[in-house]
A and B are shown apart, each in its own frame.
Chain A
Amino acid sequence: MTGAYTIGAVCAPAAVVAFELTTLRTGILRRGRFWVTIAITLAFQVPVDGWLTKLSAPIVLYRPAAISGARWPWDIPVEDFGFAFAMITLTLALWERVRSVSKPKRRVGIWSDQRGACDERGGKTPAAGAPEASGETLP
């Protein structure tokens, strides 16, 4: 029931979420766009991971004791979704962080043709009134 991968697949998403909330603080978890990305990515994970883990001809094989044994959909170990959520969330949060750090340069006007600067600021405006959001874009 509680294989090493099972434990990892529960702890990793929690650790990444904690890292975002305490350290990166991009506010990404409050954005609908993040959750839609997660939904789309996990949906595409089904055919891809399903192919990799299908028990009839597996590309990735798991030691039975390392996993819970719950496989859904198809033969995908449910743990894989925890791994994927953690990896994608860390990726998107770091991307937001990296982009917000490089943004002030663009505001000066050197890169005024970069549409990202305006789009990102526009996107954040509605949240500017939220108490914790105000400080977040200014590292």
Chain B
Amino acid sequence: MDAWQYLLVLAACVAVTLPLEIAGGARVYRRPKALLATLAPVLAVFAGWDLAAVHHGEWWFSPRYTLGLRIAGLPVEEWLFFLVVPVCALLTYEVLGRGAGRWSRAARRAPR
């Protein structure tokens, strides 16, 4: 069970923020093209940094708390980190953006 720790931490991040999309009015998962266009450069830059740092031995990952599946030397959990964390931030940002326009504009559209 220890090996699942990192993955479970990420799963918790997804679970906690998912209601923002389902009930909070954020539209992030439902904009897959925009999401992909945003995440791709972020992944390239920050996973690139991560790869370089691991290569130079600046940090590393516990074999005990990761599944042991590696892609290009990084645990699969670490790759997922670069998708999960930005999505959490985008969901937060989008929900905050719903506040001002919600009552004035959404209410006008309600009869539809």
Contact = CB atoms under 8 A, between A and B. Distances in A.
Nearest to B17: A44
A48 B12 CA distance: 9
Q: Which 10 A-B pairs have the closest CB atoms?
A: A66-B58, A119-B101, A91-B86, A37-B93, A59-B65, A94-B38, A88-B89, A95-B38, A62-B59, A98-B37
A63 interface: yes
Interface string B80-102: 00100110111011001110110
Contacts of B104: 122
A63 B59 CA distance: 6
Contacts, number: 123
B65 A123 contact: no
B106 interface: yes
A90 interface: yes
27 contacts: A5-B58, A33-B96, A40-B92, A41-B89, A48-B9, A48-B12, A58-B62, A59-B5, A59-B61, A59-B66, A60-B60, A60-B62, A61-B60, A63-B59, A66-B53, A66-B57, A88-B86, A91-B89, A92-B90, A98-B38, A102-B34, A113-B109, A113-B112, A115-B106, A119-B101, A122-B101, A123-B101
A119 B27 CA distance: 12
A90 B58 contact: no
A48 B77 CA distance: 14
A66 B39 CA distance: 27
Q: Determine the main DSSP class of A at the interface with B.
A: helix
Size range of the chain A interface in the assembly: 35 or more
Interface string A109-120: 000010110111
Contacts of B49: 8, 12, 83
B62 A92 contact: no
A5 B53 contact: yes
